[in-house]
């Protein structure tokens, strides 16, 4: 059900699926752990979902109904990272299908969303309590994503 909505090509259905996934992730650490464990992180539709659309570039009004699918993708990934334990965080940040689209189009997001993502990524990579493997540092800080 979720994957069909994410890959259908209709923005409204994809936004609904991402909103549902975000709500599940925000329920708590245990549900986030389960969601990370069962989700197909090799899902090929992330690149299309996270691509900025033309409406976002023209839009000055940021009402939720007009927000692009990318916004909901970014909020979902952030909610996962905020509620995940260290192994879940490593799993998400090790996934090029997620990190690539998340950081690859960050320059086209609103300044508020850019700051939110960058602050959280910097926190994760610099925190002494969340030791990340070297492969995560290399992926997140690579030239192709910056």
Q: What is the pLDDT of residue 56?
A: 47
What confidence tens digit (pLDDT) does each residue in 50-106 have? Answer: 888 754 444 444 554 578 899 999 999 999 999 998 889 889 988 888 988 888 888
Contact 3, 13 (CB under 8 A): no
Q: How far is CA 86 from CA 3, 52, 127, 129, in A?
A: 25, 29, 11, 9
* CB-CB neighbours of 48 under 10 Å: 14
Residue 141 pLDDT exceeds 80:
no
Per-position DSSP letters for 84-135, written without gaps between them: --HHHHHHHHT-HHHHHHHHHTGGGS-HHHHHHHHHHHHHHHH-SSS---HH
Q: Quote the CA–CA distance of 44 and 81 in Å, as a whole number.
A: 20
**Neighbouring C-alpha atoms within 13 Å toward the C-beta of 22:** 16
How many other C-beta atoms lie within 10 A of the C-beta of residue 135?
11
Residue 130 has pLDDT above 90, yes or no: no
| Cα(89)–Cα(99) distance, integer angstroms | 11
């Amino acid at each position: 059900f979720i994957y069909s909505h994410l890959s259908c090509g209709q923005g409204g259905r994809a936004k609904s699926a991402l909103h549902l996934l975000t709500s599940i992730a925000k329920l708590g650490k245990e549900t986030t752990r389960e969601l990370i464990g069962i989700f197909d992180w090799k899902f090929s539709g992330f690149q299309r979902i996270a691509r900025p659309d033309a409406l976002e570039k023209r839009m000055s009004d940021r009402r939720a109904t007009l927000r692009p699918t990318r916004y909901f993708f970014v909020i979902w990934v952030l909610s996962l990272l905020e509620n995940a334990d260290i192994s879940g965080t490593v799993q998400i940040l090790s996934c090029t299908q997620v990190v690539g689209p998340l950081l690859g189009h960050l320059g086209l997001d609103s300044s508020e969303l850019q700051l939110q993502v960058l602050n959280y990524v910097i926190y994760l990579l610099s925190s002494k309590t969340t030791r990340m493997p070297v492969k995560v540092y290399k992926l997140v800080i690579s030239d192709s994503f910056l």
